Structures are given as C-alpha cells and as structure tokens.
A and B are shown apart, each in its own frame.
Chain A
Amino acid sequence: NAGVTQTPKFQVLKTGQSMTLQCAQDMNHEYMSWYRQDPGMGLRLIHYSVGAGITDQGEVPNGYNVSRSTTEDFPLRLLSAAPSQTSVYFCASRKQGLSNQPQHFGDGTRLSIL
C-alpha cells in the first residue's frame, strides 16, 4: 500500500515558469488537500477537495490551481512561479465523514523559485 505519493521530490524553477506538482493516493480517500510549509510557520492550506469534481480554496490559494478529475489524483499547478512560492509542499488525504480518521501525508515536494 503506497499511501500518498508526491512527485517530484525536488524542483528548481525560474521566476515565471509554470509546473504541476503531482499527488496520488491509493486509499480511496475522498478528501485531499495541499499545504505549504515555510520555516517557523505552521502548515497553511492552499486548496482542498472533498471528492472528484469538487475543489475549494484554502487559506493561501493565490497563484495556484487544482483539479480533481479522479478520486486518486489531485495535482497542484503553479501558474507563473514567484520567489514567494519557494516552500515545501505537502499533499494529504483522509477518509471523509468520520471524526476519528487522521490525515495521511506524502513526503513533500521541495520547490525553489529563482
């Protein structure tokens, strides 16, 4: 059971470039989300999805797009990379509808914008 898989693990971009961070889970979880983690701060929610075809914004959505065409995949797109988007990005998933279900995290994508 692979859990939550994120690719790539590392990426360096130039300002203005676009890219897609991939996230896949094999646990049939309805809920998926993207966070960014910056030094000295808690994780901040970028976008989330409660099922295929449904997405919504989190705390810091600007500059990012998401889509959820399948239950398994939840890609995050950076439209025009900026140095402020240098961060570690985590994808997470969980079973929806039960209060005792923890979130499962991928190992993260470390992104640097030059």
Chain B
Amino acid sequence: KQEVTQIPAALSVPEGENLVLNCSFTDSAIYNLQWFRQDPGKGLTSLLLIQSSQREQTSGRLNASLDKSSGRSTLYIAASQPGDSATYLCAVSMDSNYQLIWGAGTKLIIKP
C-alpha cells in the first residue's frame, strides 16, 4: 500500500531564505506527483505536477524534483517571502484512474 510522508510537519524560516520541502513515498511505481498549497480556511491550489517520466518542473520561484527510484520529491522555494506562508501538500497517483494518495503536509511560516 502506497504511503506518502512529509517531514517536517512544520517549518519556520526568515524571509529571503531558499528552502526545501520533502515528500517521500513507499512505492516507486507512481503515475504522477503533485504539489499543492493550502491557505488557512481555503481549498487547495495545484502548484506543480510531475509526470512519472519527468525529473522536475519549474514555476516561477518554485522547482519540484522527482526521484522515483529513491521514492522522493522535493519542492524548492527560492527567495522565500511572507506570502509563501501556507501548508504545502504532496500527493501521488498510481495509475490513470488518478486516485491521489496524500501526505499530511508541511506547514511553512516565513518570518518577515
């Protein structure tokens, strides 16, 4: 059974730092992996989607990498800003039916 883990559960860093959020999964035969952002009291916003054949995806200051063989993905945030404060979740799907299996998230606080 696929399990998705995100460590740490919470992270607080000063503004301007580059940071990395981690996501690990137990079964490497994934179909794709997504990173989401969740703001308090809001729904989830998809940030990046990496297909199984890809190694990374970039959007602005965000870069997500995927290493299927080691069961890991990282979300790199460059030059962090207070507006980046949110909970970041990763989720994997195992096939084209696209049922997502979720990590519990990392709550990120960027201190001004």
Contacts and interface: CB of A to CB of B under 8 A. Distances in A.
Interface of A: 4, 31, 40-45, 48, 50, 58, 90, 92, 94, 96-97, 99-108
Contacts of A42: 4, 89, 91, 101-105
Nearest to A38: B104
B99 A45 contact: yes
Given A94-B98, A99-B52, A102-B49, 20 more contacts: A40-B104, A41-B104, A42-B91, A42-B102, A42-B105, A43-B102, A44-B102, A45-B99, A50-B97, A90-B44, A99-B51, A100-B51, A103-B34, A105-B36, A105-B44, A105-B45, A106-B43, A107-B41, A107-B42, A108-B42
Contacts of A43: 89, 91, 100, 102
B32 A99 contact: yes
B96 interface: yes
Interface of B: 4, 9, 31-32, 34, 36, 41-46, 49, 51-52, 89, 91, 96-105
Contacts of B36: 105
A107 B102 contact: no
B46 A104 contact: yes
B98 A31 contact: yes
B49 A100 contact: yes
Contacts of A40: 9, 104
Nearest to B53: A99
Contacts of A104: 46
